[in-house]
Structure 1
């Protein structure tokens, strides 16, 4: 394996508070960020310097979800509920007050919006009727992150009770497995593109690889100095990025389960505070990161060809 080459393409500014939410658009040329001051901004990877404000809410935004079919953005408005923005029309088309808790993650599956809340409830919202369909109480602790395996129809949820719960979406979210192994809140979760592996990261700084056939632990790596906040696969599944409260981004070889590159302030003029989320763009193959320092960084990551 040759050397991974990294250089920073851009640093984007405009948010006035810590940036917590990041999602790739249904057109992956665009991505969306949400921050502690309630600002939701659209960014264009072809012309990234000028973000476009598309919502300003009274409370912080920790979570954004994308409906790729309808081209809608679902905004998680803490202590209130969800706001639906039509990205074609560039306007809010409806909203729903569903919780007085923080909203930590949102996924859109078919005609349902799944909302993970601070009191351990998974809220299912029907997009056709614009109404709550069901509450599923999973824990007394927060649901922090969700990942969905499209072919398997498995929904994985990382919680602040240190567990990962696996539900079968095709069987009305029946529980399949309860993964125990982390010693603190699970913040990062992702299925590999082939759905054979589920990778989790937590406040305990450990990265765990789970075989999804029986949901057995395959490998455990002490990956960061502090909490792992998020992870994202490259589209082909060969590589993975993690980001951390330790202010670094790390690039991993998924098959070898090996660290390839550390991106940080000292070596690469990286972020100076906690990095909250990362997305490996399927449009530009760049890595996008957001931070408590109110900036967005875009990284060119070149891997050697075999």
Structure 2
């Protein structure tokens, strides 16, 4: 070393330092082993979830225990959950479906049918336990989430097609938008019995394309057949200017500033403020079927006939994300209570739940309806989703994994046997009780 020239010696030191630094940045043997274990466990979780899902329903206990054990491994595993959550949820959902399944009526615990035709509209009011449904059978029903299998309250019954419903700001009134008989207003608290005439508070016989209550006050906005925007109350009627007269499918009034958003058949998003009218041109125009604003008033979701949903920043009016994944038109959109998730319902028969902030995370897919899903809403607490379908059914989906996992352990009174463990998990993972004895 002492015979090296000064420059060569300095280079030698520099290279030595670089090699040492590189070695320090390389994962250790223990880290590599940990990563291998994570990948191995993830593969097992995927396999178990899929085997549970395809297992026949008459093996409901085993089906449920495999789903629950896959969930146990999943929450313990330190790997990224970009895909595995989707399979774990499907396994937990279908395992729960066939526990206490009514095989005579082909009805599961989260499913009710009180409408005689398609369920076309769902709305929540201020009470997080109560929601309202409307069907093309002309009925409006009031439901209690704590007693979803109970008999709903019949609030209205008519002989005409209902397009949508909305709930007043104080929860006292339902506005029913019909296809050809204008608007009908009924009380949320007055039950009607068999043979009785529906008590109607008020009627607006002008035919409309779409209508919605204003937030925090007793007035409503309606787009009539001629395309005029009418702002009405029980002692008020005014016509609002409108430049872009496309056929309107859906209308929304923003709570904080009362900006009006209209989505229509031509695919234009119309924005009407107290200062100006504008049309936000979305590339590749397809009919707009649904609109929703996030609770922080920063984002607007647009559900389209193309089968996608567009998220627009309401400050910049720029598209921040386009969500594609459905095989048919998106019929409804909704944000959850903390604006982290967006649901999209579709005529492909599914409802999908997307992580708004991370496009790498695969959506949850709620796929147990037998026909088009017309309407879907997060519950106010955000742990459930309610959907309504052309198959006449309403489903209440628990999207909290822990709740689904705990229900399995409440209803299944055993654990996997050692033979079952070796069959579905293998002897490389030490046996454990899937449902340890505790209160659920």
Which string of whole-angstrom CA distances, capped at 9 and with x for unpartnered residues, describes residues 116-155 of structure 1? 11110111112x35xx521012243210001111226111
1:191 Cα deviation after fit: 0.7
1:96 Cα deviation after fit: 4.0
Paired with 1:78 and 1:258, the residues of 2 have a C-alpha distance of: 47
Task: Establish whether residue 228 from structure 1 lines up as the match of residue 373 from structure 2.
Answer: yes
Of residues 179, 186, 193 in structure 2, which corresponds to 1:36?
179
Larger deviation, residues 208-217 vs 28-37: 208-217
Distance 1:154-1:241 versus aligned 2 partners, 3 A rule: same
Please state which structure has a larger fraction of its residues in strand: 1
Of residues 193, 218, 223 in structure 1, which corresponds to 2:337?
193
1:258 Cα deviation after fit: 9.2
Of residues 53, 56, 61 in structure 1, which corresponds to 2:202?
53
CA contact (8 A) 2:270 2:278 kept: yes
Which string of whole-angstrom CA distances, capped at 9 and with x for unpartnered residues, describes residues 216-238 of structure 1? 43322323111110112222222
Distance 1:101-1:245 versus aligned 2 partners, 3 A rule: farther
CA contact (8 A) 2:336 2:380 kept: no
Task: Establish whether residue 250 from structure 1 lines up as the match of residue 395 from structure 2.
Answer: yes
Structure 2 residue aligned with 1:160:
305
Paired with 1:213 and 1:29, the residues of 2 have a C-alpha distance of: 36
Give the structure, 1 or 2, with the largest relative contact order (CA under 8 Å, sep 6 or more): 1
For structure 1, the 5+ residue unaligned runs are 260-305
Q: TM-score, normalised by structure 2?
A: 0.53
Q: How many residues align?
A: 252
Paired with 1:93 and 1:70, the residues of 2 have a C-alpha distance of: 16
Distance 1:207-1:258 versus aligned 2 partners, 3 A rule: farther
Which string of whole-angstrom CA distances, capped at 9 and with x for unpartnered residues, describes residues 35-75 of structure 1? 111421112112254123331124x43x3223214443112
Instruction: List structure 1 segments (4+ residues) > 6 angstroms apart after TM superposition.
Output: none
Please state which structure has a larger fraction of its residues in helix: 2
Which string of whole-angstrom CA distances, capped at 9 and with x for unpartnered residues, describes residues 240-298 of structure 1? 21001111111111223999xxxxxxxxxxxxxxxxxxxxxxxxxxxxxxxxxxxxxxx
Of residues 167, 192, 205 in structure 1, which corresponds to 2:349?
205
CA contact (8 A) 1:83 1:96 kept: no
CA contact (8 A) 1:201 1:230 kept: yes
Q: TM-score, normalised by structure 1?
A: 0.74
Kindly report which structure 2 residues correspond to 1:254-293, keeping only aligned pairs within 5 A, or say none.
254-256=399-401
Kindly report which structure 2 residues correspond to 1:1-306, keeping only aligned pairs within 5 A, or say none.
5-13=148-156, 15-48=158-191, 49-58=198-207, 60-61=208-209, 63-86=210-233, 89-109=234-254, 110-126=257-273, 128=274, 133-138=277-282, 139-151=284-296, 153-171=298-316, 173-215=317-359, 216-256=361-401
